[in-house]
């Protein structure tokens, strides 16, 4: 296994000069996102942003913070809940192309999250707060409007034990997001 890792590292180092080119190195982004927890989206405000840096022309690292506040009303006999919190993660992004106005990517990341949910059901009221670890993975595309500005739609699956916008700690969620990215 060690021999394989050494060979892979040498391959990346030898291939890196051939990847060299004119590409933006820093990026800043803002996102608006929609959650799907337990099969139903929440109503509310969800937004975030972050910053990243291209380490290689086809690989970037980024840090992001996302906040949410929302309300969920279920069917007639299910409890109503409101929730607020944040998620922060460090992600690695692999761009699947280098040229063109639309560049697809895949990403993988890890981080922490915090949420507080207020649940009410007739006379019953409860508040649950939770902090924990999360991982996320997804894909999307950066559509360049010009050399420095891109639109970034993406979909991610978040998994972990870090609380959510529902009334309990989550095991998985789907997040749909659209962002504006400024490449330096």
Q: Tokens representing 83?
A: 């929730």
What pLDDT is stored for residue 23 in this prediction? 56
Please give the structure tokens belonging to residue 135: 């991982």
CA dihedral for 12, 15, 17, 21, sign (positive or negative): negative
From its phi and psi, is residue 44 left (phi > 0), alpha (psi between -120 and 50) or beta? left
Domain boundaries, given as residue ranges, for the chain: 25-183
Task: Over range 113-128, report the average pLDDT.
Answer: 79
Of all residues in the chain, what percent carry a pLDDT higher than 90?
Answer: 25
Residue 147, pLDDT score: 85
Residue 76: per-residue pLDDT: 58
The span from the CA of 100 to the CA of 23, in Å, is 12
Query: Which tens digits make up the pLDDT trace of 26-59?
Result: 888 888 876 655 545 556 667 889 999 988 888 9
pLDDT confidence tier of residue 85, bands split at 50, 70 and 90: confident
pLDDT of residue 4: 61
Query: Which of 91, 19, 22, 28 is closest to 56 using CA atoms?
Result: 19
pLDDT digits (tens, 9 = 90+) for 56-82: 888 999 999 988 777 766 665 666 777
Which pTM was predicted? 0.71
Between CA 122 and CA 105 the distance in angstroms is: 46
Give me the pLDDT at residue 42, please.
57
> Can you name the residues that pair with 104 across neighbouring β-strands?
141
| Mean pLDDT computed over every residue of the chain | 76
Answer CATH for 25-183 from 3.40.50.970, 3.40.1030.10, 2.40.160.20, 2.130.10.10: 2.40.160.20
Residues with Cβ within 8 Å of 47's Cβ and at least 6 positions away in sequence, in order, are 30, 31, 32, 33, 66, 67
Q: Closest by alpha carbon to 100, among 23, 156, 179?
A: 23
């Amino acid at each position: 296994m060690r021999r394989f890792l050494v060979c892979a590292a040498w391959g990346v180092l030898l291939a890196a000069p051939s990847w060299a080119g004119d590409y933006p190195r820093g990026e800043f982004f803002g996102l608006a996102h929609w959650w799907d927890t337990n099969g139903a989206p929440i109503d509310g405000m969800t937004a975030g942003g972050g910053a990243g840096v291209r380490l290689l022309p086809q690989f970037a690292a980024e840090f992001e913070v996302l906040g949410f506040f929302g309300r969920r009303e279920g069917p007639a006999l299910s409890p109503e809940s409101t929730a607020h919190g944040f998620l922060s993660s460090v992600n690695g992004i692999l761009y699947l192309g280098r040229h063109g106005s639309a560049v697809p990517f895949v990403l993988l990341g890890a981080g922490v999250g915090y949420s507080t949910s207020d649940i009410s059901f007739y006379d019953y009221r409860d508040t649950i707060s939770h902090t924990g670890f999360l991982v996320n993975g997804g894909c999307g595309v950066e559509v360049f409007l010009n050399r420095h500005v891109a639109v970034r739609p993406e979909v991610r699956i978040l998994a972990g034990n870090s609380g959510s916008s529902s009334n309990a700690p989550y095991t998985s969620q789907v997040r749909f997001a659209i962002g504006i990215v400024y490449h330096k």
